């Protein structure tokens, strides 16, 4: 799994014990991952956690579970870097329409934007931006900077030398800040408009939005917490300025919408076969990352695709089978989750490798 830097965690950051798993009365099916959900609270230190699992074939089910209080299936939450999959989808649609080519350089599309201090837009292609092989410094790693626009974020990155030569994988939110500018340059509209028109509206993702400068979450929503490094206490960071995240992580969504989006994407409803193949191509990163999505191979041989989102006040992860027929999204209401990789792996292994405890559809 790639190491993904938290968006807004530094400027706005960095446990309460849950009350047990709360099933919906209408859902007799216990999805395999549900039994492990309480560990996100008991072992991970999250105040609350929730998951939504959906399978459309071979004993289908659609099951929601939560642990703790104050978290609901319909809640809106910040999805962080899952935004990148939406942006990558738009870019690949523009490639299909021949408005862009993956071999286009940043210099060609945005003349003069990326240059200086060892950075050279003539050597960075769209494919490199999408796959995090550009070498551009991650602007969110500069804890002294709080850029409120994509151009400002790029300028923060350019104050640093590249983290690596182009062609080597190094996750950087700057790549998607640049891609947001590319979308505007080519379409005449901001990436938020293109995502709305090309993805949100056609898929009827009624709980998904890109807030721009809006600091509040739509209703209904819970709270988001970060742990103060000075005293260890949880601090409410529900309201925040998402412009620092921008095209790298400003998305707001719901459990249902994220499952629906990844099922549609991997099921071929948003991209033509050629572009979907490119989306899932991980050769440039030696199997670590595709173009806005990444694979995770499980012990049973199943590989799931998706992305995670880590932003101040929350963490979310969506994973799906290659055909999109089986999806899982889980979330916690804090950006600080102890032993997060092991706990996440446990949920994914349970959901995609174990047999369900009940084969009935909910």
SS3 10: helix
Question: Burial code of 267-293, b = ≥16 C-beta within 10 A, e = fewer?
Answer: beebbeeebbebbbebebbeebbbbbb
Element (DSSP H or E) covering residue 279 = helix 273-279
CA 73 to chain centre: 18
> Is the confidence at residue 15, as pLDDT, over 80?
no
Q: How would you class 43 by CB atoms within 10 Å of its CB: exposed for 0-12, middle for 13-18, buried for 19 or more?
A: middle
d(CA 222, CA 75): 7
pLDDT of residue 361: 35
> Is the confidence at residue 24, as pLDDT, over 80?
no
Asked if 232 and 305 sit in the same domain, the reply is yes
Asked if 177 and 280 sit in the same domain, the reply is no
pLDDT of residue 352: 96
Domain membership flag for residue 2 = no
**Percentage, residues of the chain above pLDDT 90:** 83
Asked if 109 and 164 sit in the same domain, the reply is yes
SS3 43: coil
pLDDT of residue 20: 31
What is the pLDDT of the chain when averaged over all its residues? 90
Asked if 280 and 165 sit in the same domain, the reply is no
Give the model confidence (pLDDT) of 25-63 as tens digits: 344 467 789 999 999 999 999 999 999 999 998 788 999
Which segment of 11-25, 33-47, 246-260 scores lowest on mean pLDDT? 11-25
d(CA 153, CA 311): 16
pLDDT of residue 8: 55
> Is the confidence at residue 129, as pLDDT, over 60?
yes
Q: In the structure encoding, which two tokens stand for residue 58, read together? A: 């071979």
Q: What is the CATH number of the domain that holds 26?
A: 3.40.710.10
d(CA 334, CA 313): 4
> Is the confidence at residue 150, as pLDDT, over 50?
yes
pLDDT band at 167, cuts 50/70/90?
Answer: confident
d(CA 285, CA 288): 5
Domain membership flag for residue 127 = yes
d(CA 218, CA 76): 6
pLDDT band at 164, cuts 50/70/90?
Answer: confident
Asked if 320 and 266 sit in the same domain, the reply is yes
pTM tops 0.85: yes
Asked if 119 and 149 sit in the same domain, the reply is yes
pLDDT of residue 359: 38
pLDDT of residue 357: 46
**Residues with catalytic function:** 81
What integer is the mean pLDDT of 229-244? Answer: 92
- Count of domains observed in the chain: 2
pLDDT of residue 116: 95
Of how many residues is the chain composed? 362
Q: Is 121:136 a contact under the CB 8 Å cutoff?
A: no
Cα 211-252-254 angle, rounded to 5 deg: 150
Final residue in a domain of this structure, among 187, 202, 237: 187
Asked if 270 and 179 sit in the same domain, the reply is no
Of 27, 29, 34, 32, which Cα lies nearest the Cα of 49?
34
Domain span at residue 40 reads 9-79+211-353
Asked if 98 and 71 sit in the same domain, the reply is no
Domain membership flag for residue 204 = no
What integer is the mean pLDDT of 146-152? Answer: 96
pLDDT of residue 31: 79
Which segment of 24-28, 149-153, 154-158, 169-173 scores lowest on mean pLDDT? 24-28
Give the model confidence (pLDDT) of 209-236 as tens digits: 999 999 999 999 999 999 988 888 899 9
Give the model confidence (pLDDT) of 69-123 as tens digits: 889 999 999 999 999 999 999 999 999 999 999 999 999 999 999 999 999 999 9
Q: How would you class 110 by CB atoms within 10 Å of its CB: exposed for 0-12, middle for 13-18, buried for 19 or more?
A: middle
Give the model confidence (pLDDT) of 305-343 as tens digits: 999 999 999 999 999 999 999 999 999 999 999 999 999
Within 10 A of 122 (CB to CB), how many other CB atoms are there?
Answer: 11
Asked if 52 and 88 sit in the same domain, the reply is no
pLDDT of residue 22: 36
Final residue in a domain of this structure, among 187, 220, 237: 187
What integer is the mean pLDDT of 12-23? Answer: 30
């Amino acid at each position: 799994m790639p190491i993904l830097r938290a968006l807004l965690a530094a400027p706005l950051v960095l446990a309460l014990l849950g009350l047990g798993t709360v099933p919906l009365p209408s859902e007799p099916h216990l999805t395999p991952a549900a039994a492990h959900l309480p560990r996100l609270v008991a072992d991970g230190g999250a105040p609350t956690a929730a998951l939504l699992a959906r399978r459309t074939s071979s004993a289908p089910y659609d099951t929601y579970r939560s642990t703790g209080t104050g978290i609901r299936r319909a809640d809106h939450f910040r999805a962080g870097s899952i935004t990148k999959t939406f942006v990558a989808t738009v870019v690949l649609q523009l490639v299909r329409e021949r408005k862009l080519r993956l071999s286009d350089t940043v210099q060609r599309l945005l003349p003069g934007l990326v240059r200086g201090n060892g950075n050279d837009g003539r050597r960075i292609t769209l494919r490199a931006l999408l796959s995090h092989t550009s070498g551009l410094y991650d602007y969110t790693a500069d804890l002294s900077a709080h850029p409120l626009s994509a151009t400002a974020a790029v300028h923060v990155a350019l104050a640093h030398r590249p983290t690596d030569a182009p062609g080597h994988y190094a996750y950087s939110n700057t790549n998607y800040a640049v891609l947001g500018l590319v979308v505007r340059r080519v379409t005449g509209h901001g990436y938020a408009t293109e995502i709305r028109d090309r993805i949100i509206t056609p898929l009827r993702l009624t709980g998904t939005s890109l807030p721009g400068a809006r600091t509040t979450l739509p209703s209904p929503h819970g709270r988001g917490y970060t742990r103060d490094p000075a005293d260890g206490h949880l601090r409410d960071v529900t309201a925040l300025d998402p412009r620092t995240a921008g095209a790298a992580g400003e998305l707001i969504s719901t459990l249902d919408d994220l499952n629906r989006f990844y099922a549609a994407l991997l099921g071929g409803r948003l991209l033509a076969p050629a572009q979907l193949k490119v989306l899932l191509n991980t050769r440039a990163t030696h199997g670590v990352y595709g173009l806005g999505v990444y694979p995770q191979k499980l012990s049973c041989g199943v590989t799931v695709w998706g992305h995670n989102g880590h932003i101040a006040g929350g963490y979310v992860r969506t994973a799906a089978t290659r055909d999109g027929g089986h999806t899982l999204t889980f979330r916690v209401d804090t950006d600080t989750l102890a032993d997060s990789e092991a706990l996440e792996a446990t949920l994914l292994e349970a959901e995609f490798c174990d047999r369900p405890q009940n084969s009935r559809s909910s």
